[in-house]
Amino acid sequence: MPLLDVRDLSVVFQRKGTAPVRAVDGVSFTVEPGQTVGLVGESGCGKSVTSLAIMGLLPRRGNKVTGEVLFSDTDLLKLRPRDLRDWRGRDIGMIFQDPLSSLNPVIPLGVQVAEVLERHQGRTRQAALKQARGLLDAVGIPDPARRLKEFPHQLSGGMRQRALIAIALACKPRLLIADEPTTALDVTIQAQILTLLKELVDDSGTALVMITHDLGVVAGLCDTVNVLYAGKVVERAHRHDLFAEPRHPYTHGLLQSVPRLDADRGERLHQIRGSVSDNIPWSEGCAFAPRCDRVIDDCIGDTVPLEPTYRAGALRCTNPVPKEVPV
Amino acid sequence: MSDALVEIDDLKVHFPIKSGLLFDRTVGYVYAVDGVSLKISRGETYGLVGESGCGKSTLGRGLLRLVEPTSGRITFDGTDVRALSGERMRLFRRRIQMVFQDPMSSLDPRQSVESLLVEGLKAQDLHRNKAEAQKRLRSTLDSVGLPASALTKYPHEFSGGQRQRIGIARALVLGPELIVADEPVSALDVSIQAQVVNLLGDLQDSLGLTYLVIAHDLAVIRHISDTIGVMYLGSLVEEADADQLYERPLHPYTRALLSAVPIPDPRVEDRRERMLLVGDLPSPADPPSGCRFRTRCPWSQTRCAEERPVLRVFDDSGQRVACHFAEQIHSGELTPHEVRAELVRPGADAAPAVDNELIPTRTDLPTQ
């Protein structure tokens, strides 16, 4: 039984005077206990909104969230806000992109870590702070006793992200959602944080949903990868399959368009033409069709379904890239 | 005569740290760029890579004198740039133009594309002949792949990639010889990045431009550059031909940087050895003595704390490295040791020593 089962999740932004925007358009995926699942896509594809919807962090006003988010058989979308608060932080932890804006600047770090423990495990402040010290130590923050009393601005970017990880993992959640956890960091710090995340997830058996735009991060970390485009999953595959034989022209194009450090320096990069503004609505065919090199008549007109492929993969394309085409 | 278009010699840019209410006392300096020497040949792309805070952007701005260098020499095509003053400097700026990182914030939202592009022409007094100026605008837009109808539009009407094309057009309209591009693609999505990277390459081929590209993304830098300079805390630690740098990184920092870049291929990622650096970048206001990298270097020796290594030529390949022990590290004679975690507080004055807190580092890196 999957730990997290997202079924047909849709988020529609409704604002007065503007046409409704379908940010997430029927996304379904599952996360098994201990598994690491990646959600990959470019800005505007709905990957962050998906994570916020799962956590119930989208404002109720102006947003319509439909579908089901089953977390060990409980539909999180149906819970009352006060009940959901019992789950958040205890069973599901979350790490955000920018560690400076997600920590409270006027509260000492220790209190922010201890808060979770007080709320969910009923610890006293004293006991929670003592435990927080151990947590900071576990995420590799040197001299944790002193750091507990410090404020977020006194820490470097990498340290702050470590602190966020400590908060997210404080109650040993069964699921951790990481939304672009390393995007704001330098590469050498990114390598530290990714290694740390991998170790913690392996040791504790926590399942991880990794949201990122960086295909390199996904390649080293995730078991299964979901590629999102314009609010829908267009391809899902085991990471080895996805990178060796990407079937969707979008995935294929993305992989070809990133310069690789270990490849020969080619003359030109492959480029995907146009931009997301050229998309057509999913109801009128494949949203990617106007930018696609393999577009055929069947791509436009009817909705393209997400068809299962082998090894629990799936593909939404009428004219996929043949398997033998190299990346 | 050398074919170097730009020669930078021992350039320093120090920013004073002011304190006090009544008297603007200078209490110290941020050593943003601290003694960088490099040459950029005509028609080549020089890539400057490093992490945030290493001074790469300041170096680019110092070259254009957008920030005034503290000391050092900048020679552009035989002209001593720092000796130019007032009017002559203004006219000189035509030959070096800049492309900025974020196309959203570097284009005035209230100016039409035409007005954005004409601004530079006006400053150089090239707008008097209306027909000539119009022709110039159109051909520039055409060269960056935008239609002439874009002239009457405003920045918000374009997508991120198109906006960056406008930023490039603005730099091109004056017909510069050198373009300094500060993180030209890092604000763009992956699929758009390739378009802009290719455009920069095409323009170089057709116009014979010289580029100084500043970026933190080593994969992008390696793809577009001929020569790469790696910066760490205000100084150049290694410089080499783009392929050579990847084949044979000599400086420990370059090694760490290369091993930290994720590669979009699980088969490679699973087998890769990583060299993880301990801690963070020290404060450029209080850089470590001797070699700036020694606090995080797995090979550091006592000499590294006493003497600051200079950038020296390593062998005939022309590769330059600023490390006392580059040969020994390369041959495997010197083996890495565990680095003690040292606390670095941004903005703090002194780094307190920690005795018992260790972060294990993977240093079992194979030496080539």
Tens of pLDDT along B48-90?
A: 999 888 999 999 999 999 999 999 999 999 999 999 988 899 9
Task: Using a CB–CB cutoff of 8 Å, tell me whether A3 touches chain B.
Answer: no
Residues with Cβ within 8 Å of B1's Cβ and at least 6 positions away in sequence, in order, are none
Which of B223, B260, B267 lies closest to A265 in CB terms? B223
Q: How far is A202 from chain B (nearest CA, A)?
A: 15
pLDDT of B349 over the 90 cut: no
The shortest CB-CB distance from B51 to any of A186, A214, A218 is to: A186
User: Which of B190, B257, B272 is facing A187, going by the closest CB pair?
Assistant: B257
Q: Which residue of B has its CA nearest to A40?
A: B190
Is-contact A226 A36, C-beta < 8 A? Answer: no
More confident residue, A98 or B254: B254
Rounded to a whole number, what is the distance in Å from the CA of B217 to chain A's nearest CA?
8
Average pLDDT of chain B to the nearest whole number: 87
Which residues of chain B lie closer than 8 angstroms to A216, CB-CB? 261-264, 269
Q: How far apart are CA B346 and CA B285, in angstroms?
A: 9
Complete DSSP assignment for B124-180: TT--SSHHHHHHHHHHHHHHTT--GGGGGS-GGGS-HHHHHHHHHHHHHTT--SEEE
**Chain A residues close to B243, C-beta within 8 Å:** 265
What is the pLDDT averaged over residues B137-149?
A: 92
- Picking from A143, A219, A239, the nearest residue to B262 by CB comes out as A219
B345: number of Cβ within 10 Å = 17
Contact A190 B194 (CB under 8 A): no
Q: Using CA atoms, how far apart are residues A267 and A147, in angstroms rounded to an integer?
A: 49
**CA separation for the pair B59, B42 (Å, rounded):** 19
Kindly tell me if the per-residue pLDDT of B170 is higher than 70.
yes
**pLDDT at residue number B214:** 95
Across the range B267-288, mean pLDDT stands at: 84
d(CA A10, CA B367): 52
Site from B44, B163, B190 to mutate, A interface, most A CB atoms within 10 angstroms? B190
pLDDT profile of chain A (327 residues), mean per 10 = 94 90 94 94 90 92 93 93 92 89 93 94 93 91 90 89 92 93 87 89 92 91 94 94 93 90 78 87 92 92 89 91 77
How far apart CA A240 and CA A260 sit, in angstroms, is: 17
Predicted confidence band of residue B346 (pLDDT cuts 50, 70, 90): very low
Question: Cα separation of B305 and A102, whole Å?
Answer: 38
Q: What is the mean pLDDT of residues B298-303?
A: 90
Nearest to A235 by CA among A221, A220, A222, A225: A225
Given this model, what pLDDT does residue B351 score?
39
Q: What is the mean pLDDT of residues B307-322?
A: 92
Closest alpha carbon within chain B to A190: B260
Tokens of A176: 């951790």
Shortest Cα distance, chain A CAs vs residue B186, angstroms? 11
Chain B residues near residue A272 by CB distance under 8 angstroms:
191, 194-195
CB contact under 8 A, A244 and B269: no
B215 and B186 in contact (C-beta within 8 Å)?
yes
pLDDT value, residue A327: 67
| A189 neighbourhood in chain B, CB within 8 Å | 51, 280
- Residue B346: list chain A partners with CB under 8 A: 154-156
Query: For an interface test with B, which of A160, A186, A196 has the most B Cβ atoms less than 10 Å from its Cβ?
Result: A186
Position B339 pLDDT exceeds 70: no
A-B CB pairs within 8 A amount to 155
Give the dihedral of Cα atoms A143, A144, A145, A147; nearest 10 deg: 100
Residue A266's pLDDT is what? 66
Residue A248 C-alpha, separation from nearest chain B C-alpha, in angstroms: 14
CB contact under 8 A, A271 and B195: yes
Residue B2: the pLDDT is 54
Q: CA B218 to CA B209: how far, in whole Å?
A: 22
Question: A181 phi and psi, to 5 degrees?
Answer: -65, -20
Enumerate residues 6+ apart whose C-beta is below 8 A from B126: B133, B136, B174
Cα–Cα distance, A89 to B342 (Å, whole number): 31
Task: Give the minimum alpha-carbon distance from A272 to chain B in angstroms, rounded to a whole number.
Answer: 6
Dist CA A114 CA A150 (whole Å): 14
The C-alpha atoms of residue A78 and residue A64 are separated, in whole angstroms, by: 13
**Cα–Cα distance measured from residue A129 to residue A107, given in angstroms and rounded to the nearest whole number:** 14
**Which pLDDT does position A302 carry in this prediction?**
87
Residue A225's pLDDT is: 95
- Chain B residues with CB under 8 Å of A254 CB are 190-191
Q: Which residues of B touch A183 (CB under 8 A)?
A: none
Interface contact A42-B189, CB threshold 8 A: yes
Q: B365 Cβ partners below 8 Å, 6+ apart?
A: B255, B259, B273, B275, B336
Of B191, B243, B277, the CB nearest to A253: B191
Find the residue in A nearest to B157 (Cα): A277
* Partner B contacted by A326 (CB < 8 A): no
Contact B266 A158 (CB under 8 A): no
**Alpha carbon A144 to chain centroid distance?**
29
Q: Closest CB to A187: pick one of B193, B246, B261.
A: B261
Q: Cα–Cα distances in Å, from B297 out to A127, B282, B292, B337?
A: 38, 12, 9, 9
Q: Does the distance separating the beta carbons of A158 and B51 come in below 8 Å? A: no
d(CA A319, CA A303): 14
Tell me the pLDDT tens digit for each residue of A14-62.
Answer: 988 888 999 999 999 999 999 999 999 988 899 999 999 999 999 988 8
pLDDT of residue A185: 85
Whether A215 and B346 lie within 8 Å, measured CB to CB: no
Report yes or no for ipTM above 0.90: no
Cα B204–Cα B8–Cα B79 angle in degrees, nearest 5: 80
Q: What is the pLDDT of residue A236?
A: 96
In Å, what is the CA distance from A294 to each residue of A235, A271, A272, A317, A318? Answer: 16, 14, 12, 10, 9
- Across residues B156-160, what is the average pLDDT? 88
Distance CA B344, CA B354 (A): 11
CA-nearest residue of chain A to B359? Answer: A140
Q: Which of B160, B246, B344 sits opposite A261 (nearest CB)?
A: B246
Q: What b/e sequence results for B217-254 when a residue is b if at least 16 CB atoms lie within 10 Å of its CB, and e otherwise? A: bbbbbbbbbbbbbbbbbbbbbbbbebebbbeebbbbbb
Residue-level pLDDT at B357: 39
B102 strand-pairing partners:
none
Nearest to A187 among B162, B195, B260 (CB): B260
